[in-house]
Chains A and B, each alone.
Chain A
Amino acid sequence: MSEALLFHKNLGDYIHTIAQIIFRGELHILRVKKLAIFSMYSIVITTIYNQGNEESNNNRDGKIGLLISPMKFKNFEPQLDEAAFKYRDMLDMPDPNSKDPKAQNRQDGARQLISLLFQNYLPLQNIEKWRDEPENFIE
């Protein structure tokens, strides 16, 4: 949890920077891009950023693991809320029906990332192979 909270104030900028590294083909070597993709993967799977994104489970304590006490989690609630907001603001889709203007103006980053990943690293002619024979997708 502490590692994830290191970025809570700048999570939006961090996601944006990583995306720049992944897709600015002329600036970075392959190894750096692979590290950036791994970093983006780590952000996407970090559970505490998703706390408001899983409607089926309202038990927040259950999402952060057994090793973190509810009291310790309580102490970090402001930081976690800020991180979760920035995570959703960058990656989630806008909600035009929301009364919250911030929800209406989310960046829709997850969809854009997928689109850019396909355009840059997954040639369209391979998609059918990927769907039917995933092992052919591996170069």
Chain B
Amino acid sequence: MLEYDMDPEMTISLLSFQLIDKLIEKFYSTTFPFIQNQLL
């Protein structure tokens, strides 16, 4: 997995998206309302 993520084809934006996805999943009660209210 690390080798794939460090590949030049893997952009930092996509890695960020994956991290955001997990942060929302693990800390849903605080992160999802933030996304809804502040960004979308």
- Asked whether A130 is an interface residue with its Cβ less than 8 Å from the other chain, the reply is yes
- Asked whether A117 is an interface residue with its Cβ less than 8 Å from the other chain, the reply is yes
Contacts of A35 in B (CB 8 A): 6
Binary contact readout A106-119 vs B (1 if CB under 8 angstroms, 0 otherwise): 00101101110110
How many chain B residues touch A (CB < 8 A): the figure is: 27
Given contacts A50-B26, A111-B34, A114-B34, contact A122 B17 (CB under 8 A): yes
- Assess whether A115 is in contact with B6, with CB atoms less than 8 Å apart: no
Tell me the B1-40 residues at the A interface (CB within 8 Å): 2, 5-6, 10-20, 22-24, 26-27, 29-31, 34-35, 38-40
How many chain A residues touch B (CB < 8 A): the figure is: 35
A110 to chain B, nearest CB (A): 4
A-B contact count (CB 8 A): 87
Given contacts A38-B2, A139-B11, contact A110 B27 (CB under 8 A): yes
Instruction: Report which of A37, A40, A130 forms a contact with B12, defined as CB distance below 8 A.
Output: A37
- Assess whether B23 is in contact with A113, with CB atoms less than 8 Å apart: yes
24 contacts between A and B (CB under 8 A): A30-B12, A34-B10, A34-B15, A35-B6, A40-B19, A41-B19, A44-B26, A91-B23, A93-B27, A93-B29, A110-B26, A111-B30, A113-B19, A114-B20, A114-B34, A117-B19, A120-B16, A121-B16, A122-B17, A127-B39, A131-B40, A137-B14, A137-B17, A138-B13
